Structure 1
Amino acid sequence: MIRQILFFENHFLDFYKVQDEKVKFKIKNVLELIRQVDRVPEKFLKHVSEVDGLYEIRIEYNSNMYRIFCCFDKGNLVILLNAYQKKTQKIPLSVLERAKKLKFDYFNRNKK
C-alpha cells in the first residue's frame, strides 16, 4: 500500500524547518517508510492511547527523540498535524491538546 502524506496547516513544517540536516534526513526516511510499508512497526508509528484515531510517528536520532502527531483519512492519507522534541516519558499536555484540536479541525474542515 502506498500512502500519501499531507501536512495540515504549517505546524509540522514549522517544526521541520528548524531541525538540523541530519534530523531532517532521519525524518524523511521514517516518513518514506510509513508511506511505503503496509504494516509499519510500532517502533516508528504508535497509536496514542489517550486519543481515538491519533498516532505518533516516532523518530530517534543521537539519543534525541522526536514525535510527529498524525491521523489517517480515507484509508491511505496520513495527515501530519504537529511535532515536538520529546524530553520526558509522558506527552506534555499542551502538545497533546494541540494535536487533538488540530485533528478535530482537520476533520471538521474536510467533511463531505
Structure 2
Amino acid sequence: MKEFTAYKGEKFTIEWYFDDNENSDALDYFENLPESFQIKTLALFKRFAEIGEIKDKTKFNFEGDALFAFKPIPHRFLCFFVKGKKIIVTNAFHKKTDKLPKNEKERALKRREDYEKRTKKDSYY
C-alpha cells in the first residue's frame, strides 16, 4: 500500500484521501505544484498538526458542512476531521473566485462519505 500521510504531528496526522485504486488527486495536485507552494502547504500542515489550530482565517478556514480548507494562496486543500486526531485532505484546486466552487465542495463531501463507508467496512486502510 502507498503512503498517504502528508504530515504526522503531536496533535494531528494529516493524510491524503485516496480512492479504491489508491489514487489521490489531492496528492497529485500537491506533487505538481512548484516547490515554493509545496513548502507553503507543508508549513500549514505542520503548523496545524503540531499546534492543533491555525487562528488566521486566511490560512485555514471553516467552509461549512464540517469541511475546512488549508489555504496556501491561491491554492485550496479541502479537508475534514475524523476520530483518532486525523485530518483527511480530500481535494485541491486553484482558487479563482471569492466563493468556494460548488463542484469542489460536492467532491469533498462525496469523498468524506466514501471514506466513512470504507473505514466502517475496514476496507480503507
Q: Give SS of 2:76's match.
A: strand
Q: Give SS of 1:32's match.
A: helix
Return the letter of the residue paired with 1:67: R
Corresponding residue for residue 59 of structure 1 = 72
Q: How many residues align?
A: 106
RMSD: 1.5
Runs of 4+ in 1 over 3 A off after TM superposition: none
- Any stretches of 5+ residues in structure 1 without a counterpart? none
Question: Identity over the aligned pairs, expressed in percent?
Answer: 26
Return the letter of the residue paired with 1:26: K
Corresponding residue for residue 33 of structure 2 = 19
State the shift of 1:105 in Å: 0.7
Cα separation, 2, equivalents of 1:103 and 1:24: 24
Normalised by the length of structure 2, the TM-score is 0.78
Normalised by the length of structure 1, the TM-score is 0.86
1:98 aligned residue (107, 113, 117): 107
- Any stretches of 5+ residues in structure 2 without a counterpart? 1-9, 19-23
2:45 aligned residue (23, 31, 35): 31
Corresponding residue for residue 3 of structure 2 = none
